[in-house]
Structure 1
Amino acid sequence: MIDPNSATDAELAAHLAEVAGRILLDVRASGMFEGKALGKAGDATANEFLCHALRAARPDDGLLSEEEKDDTARCSMSRVWIVDPVDGTREYGEQRSDWAVHVGLAIDGVATTGAVALPGLDGGMVLRTDRADTLPVPAPVPRFLVSRTRPAEEAEAVCKAMGGELVPMGSAGAKAMAVVRGEAEIYLHSGGQYEWDSCAPVAVAAAHGLHCSRIDGSPIRYNMADPYLPDLLICRPEYAARVLELVASLD
């Protein structure tokens, strides 16, 4: 257990993401739900825990969650927690492993601190901003992470131009952490997302030395009045300039 009064923001984020992940595994193991009903139950249960815990631990901070009615009062706050209780609800409901829990903190619009839990992996895993490891050696051919069901046209085009390989995967958090873990080199997304889909993953990826930006190269900003955030690029830094150049050439 941790004391929220003495824990750092990163410690708090990691602890809450891990506990929420265990809760979600328990909901799934209960056998009471399946498919879409399981996803809905997991979302509701994890969201209740995360929002209650964050409001208790950091009462002066703002909060934005995918599963909560948005209180735009957060827009006037410097510190805002941005959470996704189940990133990859479909994958969670299908009993797959490629889903995640996101607990991120944006300070003055920048994804600064956070944790991404991957409870579906054997033994579970939490990647966090305060425990950054050296990036693994990249593959000789760049691997591009794309959606299982609707790969982004830009990602397919850039992958082809770079002689790369497409790797389908579930949630945004799972894909971003796959780059951190060395399972791929590039995550290029342009199919539409929201702030909760990427805040914690971007914070963790940046802490590990990865390039994080919009696909036009501009910074990713959080705690906007409209949380829609349609695109992003998370990749190894040595690939960033070439990927951004190729994306720009598609216009």
Structure 2
Amino acid sequence: MPATDLPLLIDAALEAGKIATRYSGATAQRWDKPDGAGPVTEADLAVNAMLEQRLPSARPGYGWLSEETEDSTARLTRDRVFIIDPIDGTRSFAEGSRTWAHSLAVAEGGGVTAAVIYLPQRDLLYAAAKGEGATLNGAAIRVSGVSDIRSAEILAAKPNLDPRHWLQGQVPEFKRVYRPSLAYRMATVGQGRFDGMLTLRPSWEWDIAAGDLIIREAGGTCSDRLGQPLRFNNPHPRLNGVIAAGPLLHDALRAQLDPDSVGIRP
């Protein structure tokens, strides 16, 4: 099934890019979601409407989970589910930046089987199907081989370097870099452009599902902050952070995190 789902996701992502780029970013209508859940724009809603019509119509037996659709427990009864972020990096989009992405995935039995991350304004399309490897614009990609934390470039927001998250308060000496869009950060790790990424705060499934498969199919390891495999289509679709890198660097990062700091907000 991943082999047939991936072309469907690619076509849908390309159409999403056409829709989103009709809007002018900073002048697109914008609202703030309740309870501090972040912004949403008319472009997010337009892309979501297209995807919610197109994808379930092509796969009527699949469930649906999207950032911009009210959640329903009906998806929990389905073997396969679409996990969608219509625009990941909405703040960047609303500011007129080019760094935002469409993130589309299919999960089966808790694991992602097909995934696409598409940045239309950067002409970057990352894709993966389970057991078939990962690609960027059709060319195979591979995670970095860097294993020494001290020489690694790690994508992380500043709050993740709070000493309280690390054993004995000792933050590893790596080069911290940052990019908007969690999906894009994960894709660049799969590409080997950066050596790893981490986010220690609870993470929505739609932000990370596609990136999880792309990294794993590119030879990397992706887990929650405690080193547990990521599982998707949970009743509450939020996971316990993300650590992603090549296998050796992933294990080195995980070994230096304090497991007792899980309750601390990054």
Q: TM-score category by the smaller chain?
A: 0.7 to 0.9
Is the Cα–Cα contact under 8 Å of residues 166 and 258 in structure 2 kept in the other structure? no
- Structure 1 gaps, min length 5: 1-6
Matching of residue 153 in structure 1 with residue 187 in structure 2: no
1:8 aligns with 2:4: yes
The offset of 1:36, in angstroms, is 5.6
Q: Distance in 2 between matches of 1:119 and 1:138?
A: 28
Matched with 1:96 is 97
Q: Find the counterpart in structure 2 of residue 171 from structure 1.
A: 181
Match of 1:8, SS state, is helix
CA contact (8 A) 2:29 2:41 kept: no
Question: How many angstroms apart in 2 are the aligned matches of 1:220 and 1:137?
Answer: 21
Q: TM-score, normalised by structure 1?
A: 0.86
User: Contact between 2:153 and 2:175, CA under 8 Å: does it hold in 1?
Assistant: yes
| 1:65 alignment partner AA | S
**Deviation at residue 120 of structure 1 after TM alignment:** 2.6
Mapped contact 1:194–1:230 kept (Cα < 8 A): no
Partner of 1:84: 85
Partner of 1:129: 128
**Amino-acid identity (%):** 26
Mapped partners of 1:96, 1:138: distance in 2: 30
Paired residues of 2:161 and 2:171 also in contact (CA < 8 A):
no
Aligned to 1:4: none
Which is richer in strand?
2
CA RMSD of superposed structures (Å): 2.5
Per the alignment, residue 3 of structure 1 pairs with none
Among 221, 229, 243, the residue aligned to 2:253: 243
Displacement over 3 Å in runs of 4+: 34-39, 136-140, 153-158, 248-251
In the other structure, the counterpart of 1:105 is 106
CA contact under 8 A between 2:143 and 2:246: conserved in structure 1?
no
Match of 2:105, SS state, is strand
Candidates 12, 15, 25, aligned match of 2:21: 25
Deviation at 1:32, TM superposition (A): 5.4
Pairs within 5 Å for 1:205-216: 205-216=215-226
Unpaired runs of at least 5, structure 2: 33-38, 135-139, 262-266
| Mapped partners of 1:153, 1:163: distance in 2 | 10
**What is the number of equivalent residue pairs in this alignment?**
239
Distance in 2 (alpha carbons) for counterparts of 1:154 and 1:246? 13
Deviations 1:81-112 (A, max 9, x none): 10000011001111112211111011001122
Residue identity opposite 1:164 in structure 2: F
